[in-house]
Amino acid sequence: ELPILDAGKDNTNTDIIPLTEVAGDDGTDSTSVYVVSFGDGMVEGIQNGAMEVEDLGKTDSGVIYRTLVEWLVGMALYHPRAATRLWNISTATAVTA
């Protein structure tokens, strides 16, 4: 079974992968699909050391607790065919005869 995930929206409520990418015909009615194989020797998450967490205590107002989290993370592509992009997929309404 192959899961299909929607990338969702960013912090400004904008689609991360929009349906308004510039198409091959210079229109703005296309999108992309990304296919990724996660696992050993494919695409993996990496980190540079352990997560560091520091309790900063309450703010001066005394109603908000603050915590500083530092975690150096990233992704690594170990196999050249572990990730790909299919682009210029039309999002225009299909016309039928």
Q: Domain count of the chain?
A: 1
> Could you read off the pLDDT of 68-86 as tens digits, one per residue?
999 999 999 999 999 999 9
> Which pLDDT score, from 0 to 100, does residue 81 have?
96
pTM of the model: 0.66
Question: How many residues are recorded in the chain?
Answer: 97
Percentage above 70 pLDDT, the chain: 95
> Could you read off the pLDDT of 17-62 as tens digits, one per residue?
988 888 777 777 888 999 999 999 999 999 999 999 999 999 888 8
In sequence order, the β-bridge partners of residue 2 are none
Give me the sign of the Cα torsion angle 35, 41, 47, 51.
Answer: positive
Asked if residue 71 belongs to a domain, the reply is yes
Asked if residue 83 belongs to a domain, the reply is yes
Asked if residue 80 belongs to a domain, the reply is yes
Asked if residue 77 belongs to a domain, the reply is yes
Backbone angles phi, psi at 86, to 5 degrees: -105, 115
Average predicted confidence (pLDDT) for the chain: 90
Residue type, 88: N
> Which pLDDT score, from 0 to 100, does residue 84 have?
96
In sequence order, the β-bridge partners of residue 37 are none
- What distance, in Å, lies between the first and last C-alpha atoms of the chain? 35
